[in-house]
Amino acid sequence: MNSKAYDVIIVGAGVVGCMIARFLSRYKLDILLIDKEADLCMGTTASNTAIIHAGYDPVPGSLKAAMNVRGNRMWDTLAAELGIPFERRGDYVVAVGKEELPSLDALYDKGMQNGVPGMLLISGDELRRREPGINPEVSGALWASTGGIADPFAAAVAPAENAVRNGVEVMLETEFQGFLMDGSRVVGIQSSRGELRSRWVVNSAGIYSDAVMHKAGIRPEFKITPRRGEYYVFDRADIAINNVLFPVPTKVSKGILVTTTVHGNTIIGPNAQNIDDKEDRSVTREGLNEVWQGARKLLPQLELKHAIAVFAGLRPAGNAPCATAGVDCKNDYIIEIPDSVSGLVNLGGIESPGLVSAPAIAERVVELLQDAGERLVEKHDWDPIRSPRPRFRELPKEEQKILVHNDPSYGRIVCRCESVTEGEILAEIRAPIPARTYDALKRRTWLGTGRCQGGFDIPRVVEILSRELGLSPLEMSKKGVGSRFLTRPTKEVEADHAEADV
Amino acid sequence: MLKQMYDVVVIGSGPAGLAAAVEAKKQGAEDVLVIERAQELGGILQQCIHNGFGVEIFKEDLPGPAYAQRFIDEVYQLGVEILLDAMVLDLSSGRRIYATSSQSGIVELSARAVVLAMGCRERTRAQIHLPGSRPAGVYTAGTAQRFVNIEGYMPGSRCVVLGSGDIGMIMARRLTFEGAQVERVLEIMPFLTGLMRNYVQCLRDFDIPLQLRHTVSRIVGNNRVEAVEVVQVNENREPIAGTEEVIPCDTLLLSVGLIPENELSRKAGVALDPITGGPYVDERMQTNISGIFAAGNVVHVYDLVDWVTEAAYLAGRSAAHYALEERRRFAGRVRLESGNNVRYVVPHAIDRESLAEADQRLQLRVSEPIEERVSVEVSAGEERIARSVHRYVRPGEMVSIDIPQKAYDTVQRAESLRVSIRSG
């Protein structure tokens, strides 16, 4: 039982919740960020295409379009302040065959209406020059210079750490169960750790945002449908695509794209399949085949034998129509303080382009609170900066030498494929929001993501984690409750222990 | 204190690296350095506590650590220098080495000759495109072996093994010893991919069922493995609908193949054979880069450690000779080609003069098993220059054949040599 009364409790620590925590940490507020999982960003933020969209895709006039374009403009400053790996390398929508060309014009028009700067229609020849491996049938492309790629994990971890630096509290493995109400006013939440009181609650529960708002009795018709997308990840030693390549979009999604990541791996995906289970991130034979066929339409020379990982993510697709009359968008974002319940900032349906929009959504939440009469006073000592921690693999040799000289633990490679050192792992376990699971370390350091997929490093990481946390290796887990790596000591070790006890 | 220049630097201290270092030193190389990424020598042998090592070389049946220890003792006696807990990050074609270690910091040095002995890694779940969820409890057999034999912890209590590779079968037995229930071993191919002796000693003797032509079609469980769905496959290795069966378990071990570990070789410009995954080598185990040699599973995946040792002696000897500038007459190479039912042959080429010195041993793997009398033949055009007869050939078991010195004249005229499997 936590007797403290907060000003704001943020439910859900994906990229949106973490950004809101960071933007609100500027003001004199007691803020608590909670998540039901063992780490930040384990839902939609953990598995997506990691694109900073330019903004030509959402329906003009929708909240999605507004947040996308506004968010896109914020990323240079945001990434610099928070140390988020981000590259504004532009993106392409690729038309294959003459029949797809009109779709490019339609996207260009939408982009103009949405206020997307830096778009250009280019010829098939020009694209073939820029990306020689592209399908020779390419007839043209829409080039958007403001498109980019970012590290989606850092996009959540970095603002959350910055928020903690500025006084925000974080409680993980803390599940939202219901609201504490005083009449029609929210006064806190019931959680798996007991009652938590606050003047405001922000619903940033992602795939579960419908269930959270229903607990407050609002928008009973709103429903999140998990829409699964599957992906392949390729070995960067074998395939290196320099560009972000979209096909022309379909009615339901932006299609199966081929893109590079800030870590240099090419990824392909996602397909789009509506499912029922909000925890089902499994990949299917059919789905992977669909992804494969889709990507080969853009890059026929891809070879499946170079794939080193597969994964699936869930888009929290909502069904809220756009609030602006006359805008034909049936699955717009919800970002509101509802009329019928006070003390609640309600978000829902924040699917793609959620990553790029997250900082704009956070700013919008600040505005909503001000509009609701909340007097937000800036802290005089608010620090907007969060410095990234060193990544051995990315440093030039001279800097590697200095790093290892100053701290020998950076000289020991724990993950051979990605050259992740013990020093990096220790830094993440000792970080403001400590990494306490294997996957938390993986998302932060990129260990275990290479060719051997953790085959080499897992026993070593389990040993380091257990040593640092002062817990038995038996308690070490992949991703929190129910996912422990080991079941018991071997007979010999058990016998040794028994002997030692005697 | 490390030197700036070594005669021979060996990268990796598994059976290949140790034997190469021993032999290089014995052949007169003065400064020999072994770089090992772990905190002790021996490589993967240290976790192979089962026996079956040394039967060919020592005529003794040793466990892995004991086999390794013979060579470890020898490298120390011979005065080979050792750099432990160090990872080589870069290797140039000019044999400049860039490594990092917690003890010595960043290390840069050069070698007159290099022996690549990095071994191999296990194929993963993603490489066989295994569908389903991504919970804890899916391990490669080698990772599970390390947990059990080095760390002293069990990775699970109810296991299914996918793949009939040797480590998978050995771990099926090991986990059974430790009280785990091993439900079955699945193999997608219609034949065993590991050694028959391991099938007998690890599966049959412990009543662990082996299902050929079966694979895992889905992993179930969000946090920890709860079950796997197993399915029969057709001749194209595609699942046969209606044959699915769900097996409750908490662990799935993968023993689905090994891949030579050549990321470092690539950096030096070493050309790789897409079939073996290892460098193209000649009869001295030299790669296409002059002065860079390779030995053991980094070249191709062996079935027995004894053959690794034998090949590594050769690589170590060649590296020492190269470092000491003992140049030989070079008569040009003749290529070795894979004929009927031969998946690959190592070495990929031999020098025409090499037969003047000794018989030349070839090692190969077959594509398909043949469970009857067969002969392995080496021919130069129409002329057969070597033949050996075998009771059977199996993809899981390497085949050796020697080209005799008496074929010298024929080989001088040959453009290439072809290795084939013939019935009878």
User: The CATH number of the domain where A292 resides is what?
Assistant: 3.30.9.10
Q: Do A130 and A233 belong to one domain?
A: yes
Provide the pLDDT confidence category of residue B329 given band limits of 50, 70 and 90.
low
In a domain, A192, yes or no: yes
Residues 6+ apart with CB under 8 A from B34: B9, B10, B12, B13, B17, B18, B21, B41, B75, B80, B81, B82, B83
pLDDT band at A246 (very low <50, low <70, confident <90, very high): very high
Q: How far is CA B323 from CA A163, B5, B68, B422, in A?
A: 59, 11, 26, 42
What is the span of the domain harbouring residue A296?
A: 87-147+225-315
Chain B residues 81-100 with CB within 8 Å of chain A? 85, 87, 89, 98, 100
Residue A250's pLDDT band, with cuts at 50, 70 and 90, is confident
Type of residue at A405: H
CATH 3.50.50.60 fits B124-256, yes or no: yes
DSSP of B354-411: HHHHS-EEEEEEESS-B-S-EEEEEEETTEEEEEEEES-B-TTS-EEEEEPGGGHHHH
- Chain B residues within 8 A of A458 when measuring between CB atoms: 139, 143
CA B277 vs CA A95, B120, B128: distances in Å: 37, 10, 16
Q: Which of residues 326-355 of B touch A (CB under 8 A)?
A: none
What is the share, in percent, of chain A residues with pLDDT greater than 70?
99
Model confidence band, residue A501 (pLDDT cutoffs 50, 70, 90): low
What's the pLDDT tens digit per position in B158-198? 999 999 999 999 999 999 999 999 999 999 999 999 999 99
Are A361 and A477 in a shared domain?
no
Listed in sequence order, the residues at least 6 apart from A468 whose beta carbon sits closer than 8 Å to its beta carbon are A426, A429, A430
Q: How many residues does chain B have?
A: 424
Beta strands at B86-91 and B153-154: parallel, antiparallel or unpaired: unpaired
pLDDT classification of A242: cutoffs 50, 70, 90: confident
Distance CA B86, CA A416 (A): 11
Q: Touching check for B250 and chain A: CB below 8 Å?
A: yes
Q: At what angle do helices A438-445 and A458-469 cross, to 10 degrees?
A: 110
State the nearest Cα–Cα gap between A430 and chain B, in angstroms.
20
- The answer, for B43 touching chain A at a CB cutoff of 8 Å, is no
A201 and A269 belong to one structural domain: no
Same domain, A204 and A305: no
- A229 and A297 part of one domain: yes
Cβ contact (<8 Å) for A453 and B89? no
pLDDT at A359 over 80: yes
Do A411 and B140 make contact, defined as CB atoms within 8 angstroms? no
In this predicted model, what pLDDT tens digit does every residue of B53-110 receive, in sequence order? 999 999 999 999 999 999 999 999 999 999 999 999 999 999 999 999 988 999 999 9
Distance from CA of B165 to the nearest CA of A (A): 16
For residue B327, the tally of other CB atoms under 10 A from its CB is 8
Instruction: Indicate the CATH number for domain B5-121+259-327.
Output: 3.50.50.60
Residue of B nearest to A463 (CA): B151
Confidence of residue A2 (pLDDT cuts 50, 70, 90): low
Residue ranges per structural domain of chain B: 5-121+259-327, 124-256, 334-423
Domain B334-423 indexed as CATH 2.60.40: yes
- The residues in B 123-182 lying below 8 A from A, measured between CB atoms, are 124-127, 129, 131-137, 139-140, 142-143, 146-148, 150-157, 178-179
Question: Is the domain of A237 the same as that of A197?
Answer: no
Q: Are B194 and B165 in contact (CB under 8 A)?
A: yes
A380 is a catalytic site residue:
no
Say yes or no to pLDDT of A29 above 80.
Answer: yes
Q: Is the peptide bond before B63 cis (omega within 30 degrees of 0)?
A: no
Q: Which residues of B378-408 are buried (b: 16+ CB within 10 A; e: fewer)?
A: bbbeeebbbeeebeebbbbbbbebebeeebe
Does some domain include residue A70?
A: no
**Mean pLDDT over residues B215-222, rounded?**
96
Residue-by-residue DSSP string for B138-155: EEEHHHHHHIIIII-EES
Give yes or no for a cis peptide into A270 (omega within 30° of 0).
yes
> Is A219 contained in some domain?
yes
> Which residue does chain A place closest to B252, by CA atoms?
A485
Nearest to A483 among B135, B218, B263 (CB): B135
Q: Which of B253, B247, B225 is nearest to B163 (CA)?
A: B253
How far apart are the CA of A175 and the nearest CA of chain B, in angstroms? 17
Are B199 and B293 spatial neighbours (Cβ–Cβ below 8 Å)? no
Residue A51 forms part of a structural domain: no
Cβ contacts of residue A451 below 8 Å, gap of 6+?
A235, A237, A308, A417, B121, B124, B263
Pair A92, A127: CB distance under 8 Å: yes
Q: Are strands A413-415 and A185-191 parallel, antiparallel or unpaired?
A: unpaired
Q: Is residue A443 a contact partner of residue A433, using CB atoms and an 8 Å limit? A: no
Integer Cα distance of A398 and A412 in angstroms = 17
Catalytic residue, chosen from A53, A306, A380, A497, is A53
Reported ipTM exceeds the 0.85 cut: yes
> Mean per-residue pLDDT for A148-174?
98
- Residue B203: exposed, middle, or buried by beta-carbon count in 10 A (0-12, 13-18, 19+)? buried
Average per-residue pLDDT in chain A?
95
The distance from CA A186 to its chain's CA centroid, rounded to whole angstroms, is: 28
Looking at the complex, report in whole angstroms how far the Cα of residue B417 sits from the nearest Cα belonging to chain A.
30
Decide if A397 is inside a domain: yes
Closest Cβ opposite residue A282 in set B132, B151, B155: B132
The mean-pLDDT minimum among A69-83, A174-188, A449-463, B221-235 falls in A449-463
Interface test mutation site (partner A, options B44, B47, B83, B134, max chain A beta carbons within 10 A): B134
Instruction: Report the range of poorest mean pLDDT among A81-90, A215-224, B114-123, B327-336.
Output: B327-336
Q: What sections of A321-421 are H helices per DSSP?
A: 354-371, 397-406
